[in-house]
Amino acid sequence: MIVWLASFPRSGNALTRFILQSCFGARNNHVPPGKLSEAREAGAVWFAKTHETDVPEDEPAICIIRDGRAALSSFHRYLRDFANSKVSLERVVQGRPRSWSDHINWILSRDPSNTLVLRYEELIETHNFTLRRIATFTRLPLLRPFKNAFDAFHKANPKMFGVGGNGLGIAEVERECGEVFWRVNGDAMRALGYEQCPCLKTAEQQPDIHPA
C-alpha cells in the first residue's frame, strides 16, 4: 500500500519523512523511483514523496502545509542555491514556477477520509497528539517520541536546512512583496486560518530554531 507524502516544496516533507523514520521505524519504507506498481501490491505501508497534485484520489495522502510566506521564501532560496535560478521573490510569490495557492486548493479539495493534513508549525514541535494522528492514519505503531535534530541537519547541509522556522521567511515576504503575496494567496491563507498580522514583528524578533 502506498501513502503519499504531498506538499508544496519546502513545506516540511523532509521533516515528515524524518519523523516517520525515527518515530515509526519507516527507514526503508520509501518508494524508489519507478517502483510504484510493486509498492501498491505490497502488504506493507510504503511512502511516496511528491510535490505534484496528481496523487490518485483513491490512495491515502499525508498532506503537509506551511504558512505560504515561509514556504515561498524558502522555495525562492532553494531555486537560487540549487537550481541557479535568477527568478525574483516576487515572481515566486506570484506562482512562478509553482503556485502555492493552487497546491493548497488541491489539498483542501481532497476527500478528508483519505487525507491527513499536517501543519509544519505542529510538526516542528511534534507532540504526542500529532504522532498519534500519524499512527492512526498510517496504522503504524509509534515506537519512540520525536527528537528535534535540526542542529545536526543544519551542520551537515546548511543550504538545504537553512533557518529552520517561519519567522524570517514571513518577515522577508511581508517586507519585500507583502501586498502582492496577499493579493495572490490571500484566499488560500485565510482558508487555512493564517491571517495577516497588522503588527508583524521584525525578522530579528522572530526566532527560527526548528527544522525546515
All domains of the chain in start order, with CATH: 2-205 (3.40.50.300)
Least confident of 26-40, 67-81, 180-194: 26-40
pLDDT number for residue 125:
79
Q: Read off the pLDDT of residues 52-65 as tens digits, 9 standing for 90 and up.
A: 999 999 999 999 99
pLDDT above 70 covers what percent of the chain? Answer: 84
Which residue has cell 515561509? 70
Q: Rounded mean pLDDT of the chain?
A: 86
Q: No. of H helices and E strands in the chain? A: 9, 4
Per-residue pLDDT band at 198 (split at 50, 70, 90): low
CA 80, 85, 90, 96 dihedral sign is negative
The residue assigned the cell 494522528 is 133
Phi, psi of 62 (to 5 degrees): -95, 115
Cis peptide before 97 (omega within 30 of 0): yes
CA distance linking residue 144 with residue 192, whole number of Å? 30
Q: How far apart are CA 37 and CA 197, in angstroms?
A: 46
Which amino acid appears at position 157 of this protein?
Answer: N
pTM of the model: 0.85
Nine cell digits for residue 82: 540549487
